[in-house]
Amino acid sequence: MVEQKEIDNKKLDETKSEKPINEVKDTEDKSPIKEGKKDQDLGNAQNDKDKSAGEDKKQDAGDKDVKDTKKKEKIKPATGPKKEEAVVNGRDLRISTKHSIAVCNFIRNKNIDIALIELDQVSLKKRAIPMRGEIPHRKGKMMSGRYPINAVKAFTMLLKSLKANAINHELELEKVKIACMPNYASRPATRFGQGRHKRSHVQIKLIPMGKKK
C-alpha cells in the first residue's frame, strides 16, 4: 500500500510539472515585445492614411485654384471700339407732346450740366421755357412761356441717366452736346372714353460738338 501511494504521488508531481501547450502559447503571444510591434505597425498605418488624406486635400485645392483662374480669365471684359455717343430713350412718358417739344428746343445743343442747372431753375419757377401760342408773356429774353414742371421732372431723370451712360462710355462731357427728338406715343382712352391721356416718346443723345444732328 505504501509503495502504491508513492507511485501515485510521483505521477501527480509529473503532471504538475508539465504545462499545457495552450498556456505556453498564450504566454508567448502576450509578450510585451510583440505587443509593442503591433502598436508600432498600427501607428505607421495611421500615419500613412493621414499623409494620403493630406495629399488628396492639397490636390483638390490645387484643382480648385486652377478652375478659379480659368473662370477669372473668362470674365475678362472684351475690348472693343470706343463709343462716341450716348443715348437714352424715354417711352410712353406721361407728359404733353407740346411741352416735350418746347423742352427739347430749350436744351438742344447745350452742355448736359448747363441743361440740368437750367431745368432746376424752371422747376423752381425762376426761369420760364419759351413756348408758342396764345400764352402769357414772361420775363427774360422771350415773349410767351410757361413752367411745364411734369415735363421738366421727366427730362431731368433722362438727362441724369444719360450722363451716367456717358461716364460709363468714358466720354468727355465738355466735348459733347445734347441732341433730342420728341414724338407722339399711343394715347390710351380715359374712363368711359371721354378723352385721351397724354403720352410722348423722347430720345436724347450726346454727340460730339462738331457733328450735326
Domain extents in the chain? 86-208
> Looking at residue 133, what is its pLDDT?
86
> Looking at residue 79, what is its pLDDT?
56
Q: Mean pLDDT across the stretch 111-134?
A: 93
Give the closest residue to 208 by CA, choosing from 180, 164, 171.
171
pLDDT of 31 over the 80 cut: no
CATH of domain 86-208: 3.90.470.10
The gap between the terminal CA atoms of the chain, to the nearest Å, is 147
pLDDT of 27 over the 60 cut: no
Distance CA 65, CA 59 (A): 10
Q: Who wins on pLDDT, 130 or 65?
A: 130
> Looking at residue 54, what is its pLDDT?
60
Those residues whose C-beta lies under 8 Å from the C-beta of residue 105, and which sit 6 or more positions away, are 130
The residue assigned the cell 477669372 is: 72
Q: How many CB atoms lie within 10 A of CB 58?
A: 10
pLDDT, tens digit, 9 for 90 and up, residues 59-89: 665 665 555 555 555 544 545 577 889 999 9
Residue 148 near residue 200 (C-beta atoms within 8 A): no
> Looking at residue 82, what is its pLDDT?
76
Q: Who wins on pLDDT, 36 or 118?
A: 118
Return the C-alpha torsion angle 160, 163, 167, 171, nearest 10.
180
Reported confidence tier of residue 39, pLDDT bands at 50, 70, 90: low
Residues β-bridged to residue 90: 202
Distance CA 4, CA 162 (A): 129
3-state secondary structure (DSSP) of residue 177: strand
